[in-house]
Chain A
Amino acid sequence: MKKKRPRASWGDRILRSASGLTAVLVVGIMIWLGWEMFVSSRQSLHQFGWAFLGGRVWDPVHRIFGALPFIYGTLVTSIVALVIAGPIGLGVAIFLSEMAPATVRSVVGFLVELLAAIPSVVLGLWGIFVLAPFLGKVVEPWLGRRLGFIPLFHGAPVGVDLLNGGLILAIMILPTIASISREVMTAVPTVQREAALALGATKWEMIRIGVLAYAKSGIIGSVILGLGRALGETMAVTMVIGNMPNISPSLFSTAYSMAAVIANEFTEATYGLYLSALMEVGLILFAITLLLNIFARLLVWSVARGPKGGHLV
C-alpha cells in the first residue's frame, strides 16, 4: 500500500476506467464465447441429451447426429501427436535449459520458436503434397509389413489418415511443449541442482532428481497445453485426415476431427437441428479445451509462478 495520492485527476479516472473496461472485456469475451456456443446448441442438447456424446451416426439426411466419431478422431490424432512430440519436446527442453552452451541455446531455441510460427495452413499444404505421398508409399507399407499384425497398422496404405493428422499435429505442438517445459525447468532454483551435484550426482542424475522431480507438475502442464492445442487445430488436420466420420483402430484409416467437421459443414447446415448439432460439437470442443487449459495452467503455475500475481507461463 502506498501513501494516499492527493486526489485522482480526471486523467487518472479515465485511464483507470478505460483500462479496467478492457480487463472486463477479456472476461466478457470468454463468457460470450461460451454463452453463444451454449445457446446455439440448445436444440441439439435438448434433442439428443447425453446420447450425443456416444452417438456413432452422423446422418444429416435422416436427422440423426452423434459426435463420437469426431471425438474419437480428435483424441486419436492428439494422442499420436503427444506420443511423438511429448518425449522429443521434453528432450529439447532439457537440452536447452540444462546442457546447451549459450550460443547453441539461442539458435536452437529460435529455430524451435520458428517452427511454432509456421502457419497451420502451410503445414497442411506440406502434409498433402509431401507427407501424404511419403507416408502412403514408404512409411505405411513398411509399417504394414513389419507390424501389420497390430490392428493399429492394419489396412492399405493411403497416406491421408489418422497417422498423417497425428504427425502434423506433433510438429505443431512440439514447440509448445518444448518452450513451456523449458520455462518451467529454468524456473527451478539453482540450489536444487547444486544440492544434487554436491551429493556426487552425474548430470543426468542431477536433471532427474534436481530438475525433473521438482518441475514435474509444470512439465505435465506443458504437455497438457500441447494437447489442448492439438485438440483444437483445424486447417492442417482437415487437409490430411480424410474428413470421414469413422471409428477404426487402424491409424491408416481416414477419420474426422471436431474442428474439421465444423470447418466443413458449419456454413452448409440448412436446418436448425443440423446447425445446432454442429454447434454442440463446437461446445464439446470448447468445454474440453477450456477444462484442459485451466488444469494445465494451474499445474504450470504451481512451479513457474512468477513474481506475485504473475502470468501462469
Chain B
Amino acid sequence: MIGRKGKVLTAIVTGILAVSITGCGTAAPNSAQASGQKANSGPVSLTEAGSTFVQPLLTRQVAKYQEENPNVKISVQGGGSGFGIAQLQKQLLDFGASDAFMSDADLAKAQGGTILELPIALGSVTISYNVPGLPQHIKISPDTLADIYLGKISNWNDPKLAKDNPGVKFPNLAIVPVHRAEGSGTTSIFTHYLASVSPEWASKVGKGISVNWPNPTGKVIGEKGNPGVAGAVKNTTGAIGYIELAYALENNIPYAYMHNKAGKWVLPSLEGAAADAAAFTIPEDMRVNIVNAPGDAAYPISGFSWALVYQKQTDKAKGEALVNFLKWDFTKGQSLAPSLQYVPLPDNLTKREIDMLKTITYNGQPLLK
C-alpha cells in the first residue's frame, strides 16, 4: 500500500513546494520592475479599454502605429464605454474611450483629477437586421424604430414596416430587438436619437449609456459590446440591432435607411456623418451630441468617440507614449478611418485637440514635445 516507488513522488511534492517558494520570490521583483519609472528608451505598454464603437478602427491604428514605433504596445480591450469611464475614474487604465462624453458628475468622481475628452473618431450607428428574404437596405422610420424597441411592433409583417417599403414582402416573423447588456456609448447615441424623435421614448425610457429597456414581448436580447450585438443579430433570425457601421460592413449584415430631420431617406455614409458633425459647433470641452442633425445629407444616428485621458499623468514614460500616440492618431492615424467608413476628423478639430494634448503634464512639465 505504501508504494516503494514513492521516492520519485517525494521529489515531486517537495518540488512543488520548492517551486512555490521560489516562485513567490521571483514574483515580487517582477512586480516592482513593472511599475515602470524607467527611462523612455525601453518598451512601454499602455492599456486602453472602453468603447467598442471605435475598437475596429483603434485596433488597426494601434497595429499601424506599432509598425512605426515597435517599442510602444497599446492593448485595446473594448469592454464598453461604461467600462472605459468607470475604470478610468478608478485610475485602472492608461486611457479610456467612450462614445458618450462623461457627465459632470462622472468627471467629478475621477480620482486622478481632470480628464480631457478628445474626439478620436466620428462614425455612424446602423440599424442592422437579420430577416431572410429582405433586401440589403429596407427603410425604417423613426416612429417605427421607436415602436420596435418599445415593443409595440413585434412582428416583421407589421403594416407600418410595409407602408415605408412598398414592394418588399415581409415575412411573418417575430422581431427580436437586440441591445447592449452593459454601459455603452453606442447605446447613448442610439437612445439620444430615439428620445429626440419619440416623445414616448423620451418619457418612458430616456437616454444614457444603459437604460431600462422595455420588453413586453419577452424576446429582447442584451449582448456585450458592439461585437456582441452584431453577433446576436447575425446568429438570430428576426433580430434587429444597433451597431457601428464597420461591424455591419465587415460582417455583411444588412442595415436600414433612416429618415433624417430634413425628410430624406439616407444610408449611413462618410458624407452623412461628416454633415452631422459640421452641423454643430464643437464646444471648448469637446462634449457634444450630434444625433438627428439638420441638412439633406445628414445621417441621423452618428456620434463621436472620445479618448479619455488624465491631464496629469503619473508615469513619465507612459504619459509620453500616450500623448505621442494620440497626436499621431489625430493626424496620420485618421487616414485609416475611411476604409472602415469612419469620418476622418476635420483639421480644425484636430488642431484644437493637439493644443489640448500640450496641456497634459507629468510633474508639471508638458509631455508633448
Contacts and interface: CB of A to CB of B under 8 A. Distances in A.
State whether these chains interact. Answer: yes
Contacts of A57: 212
Contact of B212 (A61, A155, A159, A271): A61
B197 interface: no
Nearest to B205: A61
B222 A61 contact: no
Given A61-B207, A160-B232, A265-B182, A271 B105 contact: yes
Nearest to B86: A270
Contact of B224 (A61, A64, A129, A264): A264
B82 A160 contact: no
Given A128-B235, A158-B174, A264 B222 contact: yes
Interface in B207-237: 207-213, 215, 217-224, 232, 235-237
Given A132-B235, A243-B181, A264-B182, A156 B219 contact: yes
Contacts of A271: 105-106, 109
Contacts of A119: none
Nearest to B90: A267
A51 interface: no
A285 B183 CA distance: 22
A243 B221 contact: yes
Contacts of B218: 155, 246, 248, 250, 252-254
B108 to A, nearest CB: 10
Interface in A243-270: 243-246, 248, 250, 252-254, 256, 264-265, 267-270
A57 B224 CA distance: 20
Interface in B166-200: 173-174, 176, 181-183
Contacts of A133: 235
Q: Dominant SS at the A interface?
A: loop
Interface string B69-81: 0000000000110
A245 to B, nearest CB: 8
Contact of A136 (B80, B215, B237): B237
A60 interface: yes
B206 A62 contact: yes
A58 B212 contact: yes
Contacts of B97: none
Contacts, number: 113
Given A158-B219, A264-B224, A267-B79, A61 B206 contact: yes
B85 interface: yes
Contacts of B212: 57-62, 64
| Majority-rule SS of B interface residues | loop
Interface residues of B, number: 40
B221 A267 contact: no
Contact of B109 (A254, A267, A270): A270
A264 B207 CA distance: 19
Given A156-B238, A270-B89, A265 B210 contact: yes
A267 B87 contact: yes
A256 B222 CA distance: 9
B237 A268 contact: no
Contact of A244 (B174, B215, B236): B215
A82 B218 CA distance: 23
B342 interface: no
A85 to B, nearest CB: 25
Contacts of A243: 181, 221-224
A218 interface: no
A77 to B, nearest CB: 15
B174 to A, nearest CB: 3
A64 B212 CA distance: 10
B10 to A, nearest CB: 16
A269 B222 contact: no
A209 to B, nearest CB: 35
19 contacts: A59-B211, A59-B212, A61-B212, A64-B212, A128-B235, A132-B235, A155-B217, A156-B219, A158-B176, A243-B221, A245-B215, A252-B218, A254-B218, A254-B219, A254-B220, A264-B222, A267-B82, A268-B183, A270-B86
The 3 A-B pairs of least Cβ separation, nearest first, read A268-B82, A156-B174, A268-B183
Given A60-B211, A158-B238, A254-B222, 18 more contacts: A57-B212, A59-B211, A60-B208, A61-B205, A61-B212, A133-B235, A155-B217, A158-B176, A242-B221, A242-B222, A243-B181, A243-B221, A244-B215, A246-B220, A248-B218, A267-B79, A267-B82, A270-B209
Interface of B: 79-80, 82-83, 85-87, 89, 105-106, 109, 173-174, 176, 181-183, 205-213, 215, 217-224, 232, 235-238
